[in-house]
Amino acid sequence: MKKPGVSFAQPRPLIRWSVHAAIVILLTALTQIGGLAWLAAMLLSRRFRGTRRAIAVLAMFVPLYGLGSALASVVAPVFGRVPLPCLAEQGATMHMQSMLYCVLNRQYVVPELKTAALALSAHMNSSFPGTTTLTLDGNFPFFDGFPLLPHLSHSDGRKLDIAFYYNDVAGVFRDGETRSPLGYFAFEQLREGAASPCEGRDDVVTMRWDLAALQSLWSPMALEEKRTSEAIRWLSDEGRAYGVAKIFVEPHLAERLGVSAETIKFQGCRAARHDDHIHIQVSK
């Protein structure tokens, strides 16, 4: 006799395949290889049915995704990408701000960009001993033109975001810490009389999110201006020898930090704000 109340285990095929398709698309958009791992898990769990199959897919997905991610780091150099350091290691001056970036395979860049970022971090640590430089989104391990959402331009391994440096409320530098959990979206607000080229615009299609509701949730830290301005200055000066061709910084922040150079640019009013992190890109 059939048990009542477990109908979710036998959804109609169309619904079931739509759910799997949505999961594959989401995992691919988030991690590049996650969708493939999901498809492989589905294939390997064919002999199960209903709830048991759903559990089997989930149970197989995790190790398959882990294996795929490990393989990606070995194969990525064939595609011209290398991974940035994920973990804080003894004596190292740079690592990803959160392991989540590495879990999602978003720590890949072209070798010359890795060299530039490591040179920046070495400079920062020699100028301010005990300073770790934290990296944010880079790119996925494979293929040019594969977008790293929600970024508009991180699709060729030549772009990397770097976290700001922060002080605590007492004005003491907090090495390896950021205001927001992932280093993004803790915007530096405009000060009285500061440059505000986007003021008064009412763009319908825009990625210039202010995320006002989130701002009070972040840690009450303050931008460490000396380190942040020195990092931008180095990138726009010595960084050029490493191929750094473009640095996005919001105009009001560049003004406040006293940095200006041909390579320090404003990304425009329809792209994401750049007063919560530094975006750099290396030329071809």
Count the alpha carbons within 13 Å of 146 in the hemisphere toward its beta carbon.
19
**Least Cβ distance, residue 257 to Zn ion (angstroms):** 18
Q: Does 106 participate in binding Zn ion (rule CB under 5 A)?
A: no
Binding mask 223-262 for Zn ion (x = CB under 5 A): ----------------------------------------
| Smaller CB separation from Zn ion, 95 or 158 | 158
| Smaller CB separation from Zn ion, 28 or 281 | 281
Which residues in 14-33 contact Zn ion (CB under 5 A)?
none
| Smaller CB separation from Zn ion, 112 or 161 | 161
Span of 4-12, 21-29, 75-83, 155-163 interacting with Zn ion by CB under 5 A: 155-163
Q: Which residues on neighbouring strands pair with residue 94, listed in sequence order?
A: 133
Q: Does 273 participate in binding Zn ion (rule CB under 5 A)?
A: no
| Smaller CB separation from Zn ion, 64 or 253 | 253
Count the alpha carbons within 13 Å of 162 in the hemisphere toward its beta carbon.
26
Taking CB atoms within 8 Å and a gap of at least 24, the contacts of 269-272 are: 269/197, 269/198, 269/201, 269/203, 269/206, 269/208, 270/203, 270/205, 270/206, 270/207, 270/208, 271/152, 271/207, 271/208, 272/150, 272/151, 272/152, 272/207, 272/208, 272/209
Q: Does 279 participate in binding Zn ion (rule CB under 5 A)?
A: yes
Span of 61-69, 121-129, 263-271, 275-283 interacting with Zn ion by CB under 5 A: 275-283
Which of the 8 DSSP states describes residue 150?
Answer: T
Span of 13-21, 73-81, 154-162, 259-267 interacting with Zn ion by CB under 5 A: 154-162
Beta carbons of 32 and 142 less than 8 angstroms apart: yes
Task: Tell me, by CB under 5 A, how many residues bind Zn ion.
Answer: 2
**Least Cβ distance, residue 114 to Zn ion (angstroms):** 15
Residue 60 to residue 55: CA distance in whole angstroms: 9
The only residue of 112, 156, 161, 276 in contact with Zn ion, by rule CB under 5 A: 161
| Smaller CB separation from Zn ion, 161 or 276 | 161
Beta carbons of 174 and 132 less than 8 angstroms apart: no
Beta carbons of 250 and 274 less than 8 angstroms apart: yes
If DSSP codes are grouped into helix, strand and coil, which group holds residue 167? strand
Q: Which residues bind Zn ion (CB under 5 A)?
A: 161, 279
